[in-house]
Structure 1
């Protein structure tokens, strides 16, 4: 498999890349980001190609050529709820919504494999039903939900070309002791579930490699699939 990881310098994407380099079924990893993707230490990075771009809604012909022939993509680009307050909503929407749709069209235009599996990493609070008013950051959550809708609609429209899509909807993603402690508190006070960065990465990789089990992949699915995948690979 030739895998594209978009948003390659983010902490989830970095774990996806680390696991990809260790997986013999993945022959090539194209790491797309605005800054150069640093190869994980201690791993053979010979199958990793770092591809830089000015922004996620601007693709040069050189970048498009690197995407050609890909069999799957894990898309991690977003401005998170906690960071969204630092930007105008128009900018948040451009990054989260517009860039995703531009990226899908670029991948299709570049010429990809059949099947081509696109895993879009969203969040548990994203609301697809645009008639609802989410209690938490409604404008943001509706926008992320509409992005999910458009990703799935794109795949359905181009299913005859082999496009498949799935949305991963994790809760809080933990990475260290501090984030685990915060996750435990949020679960007690607000019922927010969590998944480790290793689990969510393993689950998305398993789905892009082996086929989409269900859509969407909720937090409990990501934990279940991720843990099983990690145990089998241990």
Structure 2
């Protein structure tokens, strides 16, 4: 028997890649994709839980029953900080993440929780960069919970297998950067990863663990190659 995974953010670029790897991997028995909109995908291993307000979902009667009995949660949900004030960005990046994680720590104690953070995250929480400071606070609070929590800090992420970003600006940027990816990989191998490697690394830490709980791009790629 494989492990059972909850996936938040399956419609985003990273989430799409993680879902693909989970559905292809025999170590994963089932995936529950939790999100605001339906995926439109069908697979024997895939089930969906859709609600327009994910924070409210976590306190609804019956949610605990639907999210209990899982071995791991891959939290790939996130937004760009561009154009958002600190309070609004914090509500999504920190508050929603911790609402989910605290519930899962109670319902599935010591289960694996993988959070997609970012290269440059500020663990001191005192830096001047808003997103890095808030993600640092999120990481620190997650690591304090009764979860086997892992922080993924990817740098540049190359989407593979037809996966695209939901953000128009990012899609336009990938038109320019995708042809340059082989060069980026050669020049800065420890700062570049792919959606496939992210998914494989998450499966690896959920099934085997990892030697560190904060994984930079180099660690992500190394972990992915061990699966």
Same fold (TM over 0.5): yes
Aligned CA RMSD, in angstroms, stands at: 2.6
Task: Return the match for 1:123 from 92, 108, 118.
Answer: 118
Query: How big is the shift at 1:86?
Result: 3.5
Partner residue, 1:232: none
Partner residue, 1:164: 148
User: 3-state DSSP class of the match of 2:88?
Assistant: helix
Q: Which segments of 5 or more consecutive residues in structure 1 lack a partner in the other structure? A: 230-234
Query: 1:209-224 counterparts in 2 under 5 A?
Result: 209-224=207-222
Query: How big is the shift at 1:198?
Result: 0.6
Query: 1:107-146 counterparts in 2 under 5 A?
Result: 107-109=104-106, 111-112=107-108, 115-133=110-128, 138-146=129-137
User: 3-state DSSP class of the match of 1:58?
Assistant: helix
Q: Is the 8 A contact 1:6 1:77 kept in 2?
A: yes
What is the alpha-carbon distance in structure 2 between the residues aligned to residue 222 and residue 99 of structure 1? 24
Asked if 1:74 corresponds to 2:74, the answer is yes
What is the alpha-carbon distance in structure 2 between the residues aligned to residue 181 and residue 55 of structure 1? 38
Query: Deviation per CA, 1:116-164, whole angstroms, max 9, x where unpaired?
Result: 111111001110112444xxxx12211111111111112xxx2xxxx21
Partner residue, 2:19: 17
Q: Is the 8 A contact 1:67 1:107 kept in 2?
A: yes
Q: Which segments of 5 or more consecutive residues in structure 2 lack a partner in the other structure? A: 161-173
What is the alpha-carbon distance in structure 2 between the residues aligned to residue 89 and residue 184 of structure 1? 36
Task: Return the match for 2:94 from 93, 97, 109.
Answer: 97
Query: How big is the shift at 1:210?
Result: 1.5
How many corresponding residue pairs?
209
User: 3-state DSSP class of the match of 1:57?
Assistant: helix
